[in-house]
Structure 1
Amino acid sequence: MLQKRKERKKAILALTEKCVLSSSSSSENTTPATSQHFPTREPQMIPGPSNQPPRKRGRRVLIKDHLAASLDVAKLNNRKAAIVLTSTLKSAGSDPAAFNINRSSVRRHRLKSRQKIAESLKKEFKSETPLTVHWDGKLIEDITGHETVDRLPILVSGNGVDQLLSVPKLNRGTGEACARAVYETIESWNLCEQIKCMCFDTPAVNTGLKNGACILLEQKMEKDMLWLACRHHVMEIMLEAIVSKSLSPSSGPDIQIFKRFKNSWSDIDQADYKAVSSDASSLQAVENIAAYIISFAQDQLNRYQPRDDYKELLNLTIIYLGGIPEKGIIQNASWSSPCQMDGKSNILSQDLFISPSVQIIQEETAISKFD
């Protein structure tokens, strides 16, 4: 193959020289007038192999485990990570060409680092206590940032144990897919014997009698387990029924009275609030239990609360019943719970509604039923 390529180059060079010689001989025979109109063309350069030495590819490895973990925490994709690393090396006075930095190498090192960390976690995690497996499907943005995928966080907890096992991607959000993902994760961590309970949300995909994830997981593990339905979702069902009864069912994702309250929040004088003592009927209903509820709320605030909206609901309860939280009365806007909306609307009821329409008056009367 190489010999044919050399012969072809020689033939091209010979043909080019012949054309140049014939062109020069014809130009000598022409008259001066003709040569003025048709100037002699210089021979063209034939492209060939470069005489420059080949560029050496960088071999130094820059991405270690801690750096790969930092890139994951920063949520940088492989292309952006390569750009940031190259710019950082230039700013530090180093030659980026000496390092192996490109999109493919960054991706390869990050995959190896993740696999190494996952294997080390599995080896280090050992528990002989009974464990509860938790899972909860979430629609989140994929690591590429171009699509939304269904992820299933799976973790176990027990006496002094709290370990995230995996967050697999589900192609379908069915009970069979959930059960298979949970079982394969438990089996890969060698925890089948320690798992005694299941904690889950209450949709049909988990609690179905035939194709629910709980039933199918028990079948795969070949044993009965204790079912622990998430109490937060049970209370949300009750709260949803109260809201639907008082304000009528909502046809959209937003409740309009709460939406107006949220939009008017910046115009409300948050320092001018009312407690339960300003309403005689409400005070009579809670006067025997107000002290106990305040004590309970303050005790819960002294404990670890994983969510800020839970803390705010406890603070609002103390303020409305006439108490003062340990950190003082501070109003922060959070809109994740109808209970918080109700508490704020009662505390700041004098500024809640601006429009005097009959519909708003009816909604204000309805929301007061939460007291």
Structure 2
Amino acid sequence: MLPSPVGSRQRSRSLVFGLGASITNADGMITGAKLPSGRQILRCMLYNCDVQLHDKRPGMNGALSRFMAAKVVLEQVRPFYAKANIPMVSDRGACNKMVELVDVNNKLRRIPQARRSSKATARQVDAMERRLDSTFPLWSPNAEEKIRNPEDIAFLASMKGDRVATFGAFDAKLQSKVKRRQKREAGAAARQSHFTSEQQEMKVKSRMAMLESESDEDSVTDEIATLPAENTPPCKHKKTGTTAFIPPDILSRPSLVSLATRLKITPMQQAAFTRGLITESGGNCANISASYATADRSRRQVLEVVNKEHQKQWTPSPMCTLHWDSKLTPTLSNVRQLEERLTVVVGDAEQLKLLGVPAYTKGKDEACGEIIARLTCKLLQDWCCADQVVNMAFDTTASNTGHLTAACIAIQVSLDRPLLWSGCRHHIGEVLLSHIFTNLKVEASRSPEVTLFKRLQDNWNLLPHKYSGPLSRYITANAEQPFLGKLRAELTVSAAAVIDYKRGDYHEFVQLCLVYLGADDAAQTPVNFQRPGALHKARWMAKLLYTLKLALMEQHIALLPQGTITTRQQVPKIRAFANFITHIYATWWLTCDTAVYAAWNDLKLYHNLYTYKSVDEGIATSAMKALERHLWYLTGEMLPLALFSNKVPADERRALADAILEHKPDDLPMRAPQQRFGTGFGKPKFPVLSPTTRLADLANPDCWFGMHQLHIDPAFLSLTVEDWATSASFQAGVVNVRAINVVNDCAERGVKLTSDFVAAAKSEQHLQNVLQAVEHDRCEQPNLRRCKRKLNTVKD
């Protein structure tokens, strides 16, 4: 025995060595109003590991291993920690700690009797006693961070120290949480029960419908008697389900085939889902053709029939615009190989139709423009709409607008008649912006990505993403000029009119412009800067968005080390480019997709650029040079569109009408233009502009060719502008000019559609059928999130 002045201490030490009072059944149960101490854990572990007690423990056959005993003890300890809302360590970690406690105790018990009175042994025993008297630590290392209730944190601190605190009644806050949790669990159980009863009810009704169609009334009655009775109380808002007949060829129905193709559901997934739906509805899958082979065969055969039916039912508009665009896409046989595909679309401002996306190979014997013309005209003939085409909308690339073998000329030669030329205005805006960005020499890198924007993306986390304070606005020293103030007012009005209709990058661009110019509405709301995305130089919207972000956050960028994002030479160039975007470019871009505004907007842009020389001569000169190569809508053929624009002042429209009447040719109708390069199929000749040029100054005899192409009756030209709105010829002209589309976005969307679904096709004809089915289903159901409900009308 170790010497001790107090007998209780000696008895407690004897327990450490396994001496004194023996382990009883009472030690197998951990009780108390505190977290278990080390002594309670040790005695409970010894109880479960003692061979001599295995007969006294009900349900126990022999002694447990130490780890199994630790698991049994852990289940008794767990309620104490749950009651205190203290997170525990993992089960394995807790069991290992208990086993380690038993190992330490066994090591002390193996000390010989002669050595138990040494100082080293006394220190070990004292340390073990302190460990047994304190709380056995099973809480997680970061328990204080996970606990939300201050009372629980205080209780844990007491358990770690003097162990004065004890369990009491739950506090009001904790009690309310427990009640809410119990209420949620009860609600979930009720909803599950309700769902189960609804399923059972639907199975009953489905079985009844099947029996009514296959058996007489007596057999139906007998079958219903065997079905389980409903025991769910009626609910006011309860949905009773529906009875539906599933045809045996459900996988071959055109609407479902089109929808599955649109959603990119594989035939295997469609077949499996159909079988699962029928089974859950109480049907018999043996009566339905719902195999993978049926779904796969339907994709090929049904889509071809649907495509032919849609082609027969489609009626082209009386006057259409022809769109096309080509791009490299993966081949049908190998996704790693690329091939050229041509997207062809026709339509007007209200209706657009994808004719096809054929593949082609560039050859030495046939020019690219001739290939495009051959494939385009073939599709026009197949869809019987060649005679309705009056206009061409295209990207202003050399393969489309060249003087010799360009696609525009080849298409007119194939159709054997001249057409109107409409360069894509979005593409024109892209060329204009890229020309200025290149001439500014913001960076000398020739990499595919703009390195300045790449650095902005890499260091984005160093900048504020949401900021409501003052931002950098780089209005030049001449900001108080009436000219710039007028430009800012025009942008504010234009942005307010279209901001609710723009989406994605376009919406973000409008918001950044308003913030940069300090609009009142934008200044009152916090600025949310979105992380930079695509950085390729071909992404012209990147130049707009990221330049404005760099300009607005320059104060924060300046706090970073030099060259982290911008260099000292790039800062003034970014300011100049941002000023041009917000004062000149944005107002033109917001309304560039409207055909009747095109001529007036381009002429006004030229005048603004000429005046902008007093602010930044370099940018203005560069922009004017780029614009002079894209005056597609200031030619005589396209000028009549400005007559139908309410944006053009009345005196300008009157002067333009008088000028058109003055250039009236002797031989009408005028079937071929005169101001073109080469023959009547050539590229239109652009006018020469000056600071004083008006729309009326650009009129020439070709205006009558444009009016002839659009079937515009000139009777209203002799009336006053105020009387045009009541003129029948003017109203008919308003309808006819809708045939002119001035942006080629629909062809680019066709390219994206092909890229998305080329992997779902097995052959060339299958791909064309897939594209037609997806386009038609999107027209029928533009938004799948909205539920289409048909209301039943009652007739008197």
TM-score, normalised with respect to structure 2: 0.35
Structure 1 or 2: more strand by fraction: 1
Question: SS state of the match for residue 129, structure 1?
Answer: coil
Q: Distance in 1 between matches of 2:497 and 2:568?
A: 37
Structure-2 change in CA distance of 1:364 and 1:276 (3 Å): closer
Structure 2 matches for 1:356-367, cutoff 5 A? Answer: 356-357=562-563, 360-367=567-574
Structure 2 matches for 1:108-123, cutoff 5 A? Answer: 108-123=297-312
Question: Which residue in 2 is equivalent to 1:369?
Answer: 576
- How far is the alpha carbon of 1:180 from its aligned partner? 2.3
Q: Distance in 1 between matches of 2:572 and 2:462?
A: 22
- How far is the alpha carbon of 1:106 from its aligned partner? 2.3
1:347 aligns with 2:552: yes
Q: Which amino acid aligns with 2:370?
A: E
Structure 2 matches for 1:64-213, cutoff 5 A? Answer: 64-86=253-275, 89=278, 96=285, 98-140=287-329, 146-147=335-336, 149-158=339-348, 161-172=350-361, 174-213=368-407
1:261 aligns with 2:261: no
Q: Which amino acid aligns with 2:347?
A: S
- How far is the alpha carbon of 1:350 from its aligned partner? 1.9
Pick from 292, 296, 308 the counterpart of residue 490 of structure 2.
292
Question: Which residue in 1 is equivalent to 2:477?
Answer: 281
Q: Distance in 2 between matches of 1:277 and 1:345?
A: 11
Q: Distance in 1 between matches of 2:418 and 2:452?
A: 46
Paired residue total? 310
- How far is the alpha carbon of 1:186 from its aligned partner? 1.4
- How far is the alpha carbon of 1:208 from its aligned partner? 3.2
User: Which deviations, in whole Å up to 9, do the C-alpha atoms of 1:115-159 show, x marking residues without a partner?
Assistant: 33333333333245321111122344568894555443322232x
Structure-2 change in CA distance of 1:366 and 1:178 (3 Å): same
Structure-2 change in CA distance of 1:146 and 1:99 (3 Å): farther
User: Which deviations, in whole Å up to 9, do the C-alpha atoms of 1:228-283 show, x marking residues without a partner?
Assistant: 11121122112112222221454111111111222333442231565566756374
Q: Are 1:138 and 1:150, in contact at CA under 8 Å, matched by a contact in 2? A: yes
User: Which deviations, in whole Å up to 9, do the C-alpha atoms of 1:286-308 show, x marking residues without a partner?
Assistant: 33421222112212325x44x52
Structure-2 change in CA distance of 1:89 and 1:364 (3 Å): farther
TM-score, normalised with respect to structure 1: 0.71
Question: SS state of the match for residue 361, structure 1?
Answer: coil
The RMSD of aligned alpha carbons is 3.3
Question: SS state of the match for residue 161, structure 1?
Answer: coil
Q: Which structure would you say has the larger Rg?
A: 2
Q: Which amino acid aligns with 1:355?
A: P
Pick from 467, 487, 509 the counterpart of residue 271 of structure 1.
467
Q: Distance in 2 between matches of 1:332 and 1:180?
A: 47
1:251 aligns with 2:446: yes
Q: Which amino acid aligns with 2:313?
A: E
1:319 aligns with 2:509: no
Moved more, 116-125 or 222-231: 116-125
1:310 aligns with 2:467: no
Structure-2 change in CA distance of 1:85 and 1:206 (3 Å): farther
Moved more, 134-143 or 273-282: 273-282
Q: Which amino acid aligns with 2:549?
A: K
Q: Distance in 2 between matches of 1:134 and 1:327?
A: 43
Structure-2 change in CA distance of 1:89 and 1:200 (3 Å): same
1:230 aligns with 2:424: yes
Q: Distance in 2 between matches of 1:88 and 1:332?
A: 45
Q: Distance in 2 between matches of 1:144 and 1:76?
A: 20
Q: Distance in 2 between matches of 1:223 and 1:171?
A: 25
Structure-2 change in CA distance of 1:136 and 1:282 (3 Å): farther
Question: Which residue in 2 is equivalent to 1:61?
Answer: 249
- How far is the alpha carbon of 1:226 from its aligned partner? 1.0
Question: Which residue in 2 is equivalent to 1:215?
Answer: 409
Structure-2 change in CA distance of 1:282 and 1:356 (3 Å): farther
Q: Which amino acid aligns with 1:340?
A: L
Q: Distance in 2 between matches of 1:213 and 1:296?
A: 35
Structure-2 change in CA distance of 1:249 and 1:243 (3 Å): farther
- How far is the alpha carbon of 1:343 from its aligned partner? 1.3
Q: Which amino acid aligns with 1:360?
A: T
Question: SS state of the match for residue 351, structure 2?
Answer: strand
Q: Are 2:471 and 2:553, in contact at CA under 8 Å, matched by a contact in 1? A: no
Structure-2 change in CA distance of 1:194 and 1:201 (3 Å): same
Moved more, 123-132 or 217-226: 123-132
Q: Are 1:274 and 1:347, in contact at CA under 8 Å, matched by a contact in 2? A: no
Q: Distance in 1 between matches of 2:328 and 2:479?
A: 44
Question: SS state of the match for residue 122, structure 1?
Answer: helix
Q: Which amino acid aligns with 1:318?
A: L
Structure 2 matches for 1:327-338, cutoff 5 A? Answer: 328-333=525-530, 335=533, 336-338=541-543
Q: List runs of 5+ in structure 1 lacking aligned partners.
A: 1-58
Structure-2 change in CA distance of 1:326 and 1:115 (3 Å): farther
Q: Distance in 2 between matches of 1:194 and 1:166?
A: 14
Q: Which amino acid aligns with 2:513?
A: T
Q: Are 1:298 and 1:325, in contact at CA under 8 Å, matched by a contact in 2? A: no
Q: Distance in 1 between matches of 2:411 and 2:555?
A: 53
Q: Distance in 1 between matches of 2:275 and 2:286?
A: 9
User: Which deviations, in whole Å up to 9, do the C-alpha atoms of 1:39-80 show, x marking residues without a partner?
Assistant: xxxxxxxxxxxxxxxxxxxx9423111211122112234455
Q: List runs of 5+ in structure 2 lacking aligned partners.
A: 1-246, 363-367, 534-540, 580-796
Q: Distance in 1 between matches of 2:511 and 2:576?
A: 20
Moved more, 355-364 or 276-285: 276-285
Identity across the alignment (%): 21
Higher relative contact order (CA 8 A, sep 6+): 2
